[in-house]
């Protein structure tokens, strides 16, 4: 599914990544400075890790966060596209990272595509444990929020309702597991 670096080139957030991009500013300067320090540490770890293992998907994800925090949109996107190639068992995490970055640059519909792909990835695994149900509920909630921002309210309501159903299933599974103990 994610075999080449040309993945998602049809999306405007990817095809225009080398053009000038403006992030939506964050109002919390304290949070931004703490986050930047963490991203700097992640970048150092990533460089060391990539020197040892050029196919480390996690190093590419951490490096993308560093580039994103330094307003280097195209490098952040390219790192995540490399991570998609090397992180086949973790594509959901990488797609969520992509969604977060493109959303911050105003590409709401592209963020929706990435979250839908992350959800598809989870559904294809056909795992119904609590962890998977919880991740799916978060993805549905995220889609509900994105659809609300995109003024697609009926679709947003459907995603919020699915979130509620998944959370009820999680509660039921937890209750059943406690009875077995």
In a shared domain, residues 16 and 95? yes
pTM value?
0.81
Task: State how many domains the chain has.
Answer: 2
In a shared domain, residues 16 and 103? yes
Assign residue 126 a region: left if phi > 0, alpha if psi is -120 to 50, beta otherwise?
Answer: left
Q: Which residue has the tokens 């075999």?
A: 3
Question: Does residue 133 belong to any structural domain of this protein?
Answer: yes
Task: Give the residues of the chain that fall short of pLDDT 50.
Answer: 1-5, 31, 181
Give the residue numbers spanning the domain of 136: 127-181
Task: Single out the residue of 152, 143, 146 nearest to residue 103, CA to CA.
Answer: 146
Tell me what pLDDT residue 9 has: 74
Give the pLDDT confidence of 51-62 residue by residue, as tens digits.
Answer: 999 999 999 999
Is 162 strand, coil or helix? Answer: helix
In a shared domain, residues 19 and 95? yes
In a shared domain, residues 27 and 88? yes
Q: How far apart are CA 48 and CA 124, in angstroms?
A: 34
**Last residue within a domain, chosen from 42, 77, 107:** 107
25: domain CATH number is 1.25.40
What percent of the chain is modeled with pLDDT above 70?
86
Give the pLDDT confidence of 9-55 residue by residue, as tens digits.
Answer: 778 777 777 777 776 665 555 545 556 678 888 899 999 999 999 99
Estimate the crossing angle of helix 73-86 against helix 57-69, to 10 degrees: 170
In a shared domain, residues 100 and 157? no
Mean pLDDT of the chain: 85
> Up-side HSE of residue 156: CA atoms within 13 Å toward CB?
11
In a shared domain, residues 149 and 79? no
Question: Does residue 117 belong to any structural domain of this protein?
Answer: no
Question: Does residue 112 belong to any structural domain of this protein?
Answer: no
Residue 146 and residue 160 in contact, taking contact as beta carbons nearer than 8 Å: no
């Amino acid at each position: 599914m994610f075999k080449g670096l040309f993945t998602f080139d049809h999306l405007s957030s990817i095809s225009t990544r080398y053009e000038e991009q403006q992030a939506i500013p964050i109002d919390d300067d304290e949070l931004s400075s703490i986050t930047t320090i963490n991203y700097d540490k992640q970048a150092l770890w990533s460089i060391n890790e990539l020197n040892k293992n050029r196919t480390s998907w996690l190093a590419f994800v951490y490096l993308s966060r560093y580039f994103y925090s330094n307003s280097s949109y195209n490098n952040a996107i390219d790192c995540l596209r490399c991570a998609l190639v090397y992180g086949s068992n973790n594509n959901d995490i990488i797609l969520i990272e992509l969604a977060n970055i493109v959303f911050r640059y105003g590409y709401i519909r592209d963020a929706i595509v990435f979250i839908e792909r992350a959800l598809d990835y989870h559904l294809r695994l056909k795992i119904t444990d609590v962890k998977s149900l919880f991740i799916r509920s978060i993805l549905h909630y995220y889609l509900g929020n994105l659809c609300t921002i995109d003024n697609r309210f009926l679709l947003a309501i459907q995603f919020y309702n699915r979130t509620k159903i998944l959370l009820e299933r999680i509660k039921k599974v937890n209750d059943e597991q406690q009875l077995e103990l």
